[in-house]
A and B are shown apart, each in its own frame.
Chain A
């Protein structure tokens, strides 16, 4: 089981998000109300440190575990897809206070509501799969 390290990493990430309160409905409410620096500090800090790490990847200074160059996948382009998709995600995130990784973490806190959100997310992903050919870019 060479991938067991991802399980350990998942446990670590969940503990980090839990301990800095980045899974709390109240923290996201406060963020979208611009009433606190807390979440902006966390996400901003993550982006700044990650940007430095990305530079080390791109320059080839840090290679992956197999010795290969690390090349982050390019994101799909498209103004409509990102803005409209992003807005839908934001609506769900703002109301439920859950985003994609935290919804799994919240299962360990409040299993029933988190399970309902997760079920909805699977239905949503399924709807996207059905419509993906017909949606603008």
Chain B
């Protein structure tokens, strides 16, 4: 139990993520996460507005169960498996974030400046979250995948579109972290 409760080192992450991909394919389906955004749109009734969403979502019940598992797994982890959320972040990173006005960098997984419930309900905080979400939803569907579908499944299958998508991920991520974050905070 002690081993489970400690933070896991980076090198166990790769093999265990690959194991997840393996089982997903072994169970007969393509590994990915972002198509679920479309499926959820379909369930919410988007098919009445656009033919793009006229699909039978029941064909993707396996993916919805996977998503339900992700939520349950997140709940189990946050409540029982991570007694200490402190992160061994690069001291330079911590210093930079402190200068930007972040109060407790790396003391937990998520900064209060973005993830506290108070901030999330303020106009600025709400806009940061929802606009990020819009970019994530639009971007993953336009690009045809996310970190799971492109960076892991696609790259490991030597797909050129996935390489281009991952280059795009980094262009966007670098702009966000180097320019937008200092602008916002």
**Chain A residues in the interface with B (C-beta under 8 A):** 3-33, 35-39, 41-54, 57, 62, 64-66, 68, 70, 72-79, 81-101, 103-110, 112-113, 116-130, 132, 135
Contacts and interface: CB of A to CB of B under 8 A. Distances in A.
A29 B70 CA distance: 22
Contact of B14 (A10, A41, A100): A41
Given A91-B180, A94-B180, A32 B109 contact: no
Interface size for chain B: under 10, 10 to 19, 20 to 34, or 35 or more residues?
A: 35 or more
A84 B169 CA distance: 9
23 contacts: A5-B27, A10-B65, A10-B72, A35-B93, A41-B11, A41-B14, A53-B25, A65-B27, A76-B161, A82-B150, A85-B168, A89-B168, A92-B133, A93-B173, A95-B131, A99-B146, A105-B73, A108-B78, A108-B79, A119-B130, A120-B129, A122-B37, A125-B34
B132 A120 contact: yes
Given A7-B65, A72-B25, A116 B130 contact: yes
A129 B14 contact: no
B16 A16 contact: yes
Contacts of B119: 113
Contacts of A28: 173
Contacts of B18: 45-46, 49-50, 52-53
B120 A105 contact: no
B126 interface: yes
Contact of B168 (A52, A53, A86, A113): A86
Given A66-B28, A103-B136, A124-B141, A46 B46 contact: no
B177 interface: yes
B117 A121 contact: no
A18 B161 CA distance: 28
Interface of B: 4, 7-30, 32-34, 36-38, 40-41, 44, 46, 49-50, 52-53, 61-63, 65-79, 81-82, 87, 89-90, 92-93, 96-97, 105-106, 109-111, 114-115, 117, 119-121, 125-126, 128-162, 164-178, 180-181, 184
A91 B106 contact: no
A49 B142 contact: no
Contacts of A5: 23, 27
Contact of A87 (B9, B92, B106, B139): B139
Contact of B20 (A13, A37, A135): A13
A82 B144 contact: yes
